[in-house]
Structure 1
Amino acid sequence: MGEAAPEVSRTLGALLLGEVPSLTRVEVAERAGVPLDLAVTLWHQLGFPHRADDDVAFAESDVEALRLSAELVQIGILPPESQAALVRTWGRSFARLAEWQTTLLAGRAAADGGPTTGAGLTELANDVLPRVEALQSYVWRRHLASAAEHLLEDASTLTAAESQLAVCFVDIVGYTTRSRSLDGAELVQWVDGFEHDTTALVVDHGGQVIKTIGDEVLFTVADPAAAVEVALEVTSRGADEADPFPAVRAGIAHGSVVRRLGDVFGSTVNAASRLTSAARPGSVLVDAGVHRALSEQDERDGGDDEAPWRFRRARRISAKGFDHLEAWRVRSRSAD
């Protein structure tokens, strides 16, 4: 593109921002009524690139965003003790989303025979951006409604620092070896299939996927039985050679969990991770909390003869932070 590159970049930037940048960061802070050092801190936490005081790289939308951020701090939605972590989470999440969406736009432009930069990409963004923005708002509000519904089902969670949850890790067996035999597109398709099918099962059982880490999915659910059902289903599918779903193993722990910014922490999470690492391919290991909860449920339902699963005591697991972690292997009765 040569000398036209800066002009095209400015045009595309103005389109994505909704206006042509005309302000410096100093001017933005002054108009928003926010100290410059606080504004710079917020921008750093959001992951925005560094700008000098005289760089004309901001717009009126930045003024409004900074003013809104200051108001959220004032009313306590962004308290000082959690402000940095929350803002960083926003920044990381939207940065990943923006990078992925930009790649999709460039790929579509290339597939249509047009340039992946310049006026062609600008025209495509102008057509697609409003639709993507509206859809993102819809998805966000639907998740807000779902989160509020779950939160209000148990009023005690409104102020509680911890929740009682089943935590499960599902880990692909032999991921490193298999990934070496696949090209980039095949690897993405394989991992996407694993994440898609696992997420669908989790959601269908009332759970929540906390995060995916390449070859691993972490999810939580209030009912330990539901976590076991998901884990047994994915390990069963992984053992079926006719099913493209990968071979997996899983570990589940039940107990007190700390929720923070969409993630979960605490010894229960650590126990589930250690159980997963110790599980054999195609197996599900659970801790004492899950074993106790399911055993009590079996008794309420009429005894072991009616239980949909069987337990077998496994060797205690030696792991950092645990003194001989108790473990049971759980299997579906129908698999016997």
Structure 2
Amino acid sequence: MTVPERRTSREELERQILGATPDMTAAEVAEGAGVSTDAIRRLWRALGFAEVDQDVIFTPHDVAAVGDVFSTVDSGAIGFDTAVALIRALGQTMSKLADWEVATLLDRVEELAKAADGSRMDSAAEVLSKVNPAFEQLLVYAWRRHLAAAVGRMEALGEAEEDLHATHVSVGFADIVSFTALSNTLDQDGIGNLVEVFEARCYDVVSNLGGRVIKSIGDAVLFVSDRAQTAIEIGEGIIRVIGRDPRLPDVRVGIASGSVVTRMGDVFGPPVNMAARLTAVARRNRIIIDQATADLLPSIFITRRLPARPVRGFGIVEPLAVSRR
């Protein structure tokens, strides 16, 4: 008699990922960490998870993490509200990263499951056991690198700005032309592949030219640059690697300059809104800018004023097309 091969359960996979078996409630974590249950719930919500009551979902690692947070607060380095804000940023970032990791590894999991005639859980456990240890180290490395770069930007900003939360930048939006209509002609894999290629190429161009991608929104990417010329060069690069590729759809780019406020890794202010509005009126594979950006460009660029048009939130605006001499 053949004994059926044992399959990995969801609970076992969860234990592998968490490194422990969930056996504690929020109240027990609070008792172990010496804090209130309300504080635990607030931290849990900040991480991006649903409210819990008597659910047995926590482990001793949760007690240690809460203890680390309150040790930092008790040291006087930061207040509890600041800690919650940092945890909220961490939760949002990790949620997206986790979804991204799972989606990226899904094809490999399916491949292994078919090859071994096994279950997805078995294959997922195998892949994660080999990928996650190195990926955790890479995660800390990438955070340190980006933190050093962010501190450098803040230090440079402090020399010229009174408010360290506000800075003068050029903001760019790049989006895929007629994405909704295009997506209706593609299957799910086709849409996913298109968005992945679009984002990857935009990220490569922006990073290589010294800009920063703030966020991607499916068919659009928001980036910033300290120099208007660099923002134009980024727009040209995106058009070159996407819009000029006959295998990919056309793109359009809108760029505006001015003071923005930085919060939670995002940027806010009139230039962000203006760049988005300009993108909506740009022609295929063209860059449209505002007057503030044009005023910052060197003489190697020429601008051409386009017909005035109403722009939501700004009234009548005269956008400008830009090109090289």
Report deviation, 1:220.
0.1
Alpha-carbon separation, structure 1, partners of 2:229 and 2:291: 13
String of CA shifts for 1:90-121, please: whole Å, max 9, x gaps. Answer: 22321232233334455423312343444453
Alpha-carbon separation, structure 2, partners of 1:280 and 1:79: 49
- Residue 125 of structure 2 corresponds to residue 122 of structure 1: yes
Alpha-carbon separation, structure 2, partners of 1:193 and 1:90: 26
* Paired residues of 1:169 and 1:216 also in contact (CA < 8 A): yes
String of CA shifts for 1:189-237, please: whole Å, max 9, x gaps. Answer: 2222221222111112210000111111100000001101121333355
- Residue 255 of structure 2 corresponds to residue 252 of structure 1: yes
Q: What is the Cα-based RMSD across aligned positions, in Å?
A: 2.5
The aligned length equals 315
- Residue 213 of structure 2 corresponds to residue 212 of structure 1: no
- Say which is worse superposed, 136-145 or 123-132, in terms of deviation: 123-132
- What amino acid is the match of 1:173? V
| Structure 1 residues 251 and 58, CA gap change in structure 2 (3 angstroms) | same
1:182 to 183, 186, 191: 186
- Say which is worse superposed, 121-130 or 29-38, in terms of deviation: 121-130
Q: Secondary structure of the equivalent of 2:218? A: coil
| Structure 1 residues 181 and 160, CA gap change in structure 2 (3 angstroms) | same
| Structure 1 residues 253 and 73, CA gap change in structure 2 (3 angstroms) | farther
Q: Secondary structure of the equivalent of 1:246? A: coil
- Say which is worse superposed, 100-109 or 170-179, in terms of deviation: 100-109
| Structure 1 residues 29 and 270, CA gap change in structure 2 (3 angstroms) | same
- What amino acid is the match of 1:37? D
In structure 1, the gaps of 5 or more residues are 299-306
Matched residue, 1:320: 312
Alpha-carbon separation, structure 2, partners of 1:310 and 1:57: 61
Report deviation, 1:36.
0.7
What's the % identity of the aligned pairs?
Answer: 34
| Structure 1 residues 158 and 42, CA gap change in structure 2 (3 angstroms) | farther
Alpha-carbon separation, structure 1, partners of 2:64 and 2:242: 50
Query: TM-score, normalization: structure 2?
Result: 0.87
- What amino acid is the match of 1:331? S
- What amino acid is the match of 2:154? L
| Structure 1 residues 283 and 78, CA gap change in structure 2 (3 angstroms) | farther
Matched residue, 1:59: 59
String of CA shifts for 1:2-60, please: whole Å, max 9, x gaps. Answer: xx98x83332222211122232211111121221112112112212244333x332111
Matched residue, 2:322: 330
Matched residue, 2:177: 173
In structure 2, the gaps of 5 or more residues are 1-5
| Structure 1 residues 128 and 161, CA gap change in structure 2 (3 angstroms) | closer
Question: Which aligned pairs between 1:143-182 and structure 2 lie closer than 5 A?
Answer: 143-156=146-159, 159-182=163-186
- Residue 69 of structure 2 corresponds to residue 69 of structure 1: yes
| Structure 1 residues 252 and 91, CA gap change in structure 2 (3 angstroms) | same
Matched residue, 1:39: 40
Report deviation, 1:175.
1.2
| Structure 1 residues 317 and 34, CA gap change in structure 2 (3 angstroms) | farther
- What amino acid is the match of 1:144? L
- What amino acid is the match of 2:35? V
| Structure 1 residues 121 and 323, CA gap change in structure 2 (3 angstroms) | closer
Alpha-carbon separation, structure 2, partners of 1:135 and 1:262: 20
* Paired residues of 1:168 and 1:253 also in contact (CA < 8 A): yes
| Structure 1 residues 247 and 132, CA gap change in structure 2 (3 angstroms) | same
Q: Secondary structure of the equivalent of 1:244? A: coil
Matched residue, 2:3: none
- Say which is worse superposed, 312-321 or 201-210, in terms of deviation: 312-321
Query: TM-score, normalization: structure 1?
Result: 0.84
Alpha-carbon separation, structure 1, partners of 2:100 and 2:296: 41
* Paired residues of 2:174 and 2:220 also in contact (CA < 8 A): yes
* Paired residues of 1:232 and 1:331 also in contact (CA < 8 A): no
* Paired residues of 2:110 and 2:123 also in contact (CA < 8 A): no
